[in-house]
Amino acid sequence: MSVTEQVRLMRSVMGRKIMEIDEYNDKAADAVGEEAGRYLSMAEFLENDVAGYKTIIEDLRDGSCDYTGNIYDIASLPADLLGLYQNFYIPSLSPEDRADENAAMELKVNYAQDLAKNYLVGIGKAALTNDLALNLMMSDESILAAIGTIVSSNPEILNAISDDRQ
């Protein structure tokens, strides 16, 4: 799926969710007790979801996909509402909306994973190019063991350090 198609899908899903937020808030105003709470919780969940999509779209919109998004916006869906999303919201969608929801959520999950990896790669590069960080890492056995585990599973790096030891 092209970046343009991804943005179009996410905007479409966002538009639907914004209308659903209004509907859930209206239903909550007419409901009482647990039912009202469920509608309000669903509206909150969708608001967080929309914020995540906006973050991704801002990054993808110019075609750069440079992973400048905010991981908190994307991953801030309240965990306690996940059951409500799975058991109440998803079944309420039409088959077409459910297909769009699943496709958009898959894009969102992939983006979040790539964003998190990019963030960690940046930290790793910064740590390996900073003398103070290198010295601190060298004094921490757990960091050295983690690095050793990774290096021992990479024959090319292992050979490179074996050549230096000889």
pLDDT in tens, 32-85: 999 899 999 999 889 988 988 888 888 887 666 676 666 666 776 677 777 888
Tokens of 165: 């030891």
Beta-carbon contacts of 152 under 8 Å, excluding residues fewer than 6 positions away, are 158
Mean pLDDT of 123-145: 94
User: What residue spans define the domains of the chain?
Assistant: 3-116, 130-166
- Band (pLDDT 50/70/90 cuts) for residue 164 is low
8 Å CB contact between 71 and 116: yes
Q: What is the mean pLDDT of the segment spanning 3-9?
A: 88
Rounded alpha-carbon distances, angstroms, from residue 155 to 18, 35, 121, 139, 165: 51, 59, 21, 25, 15
Residue holding tokens 């905007």? 11
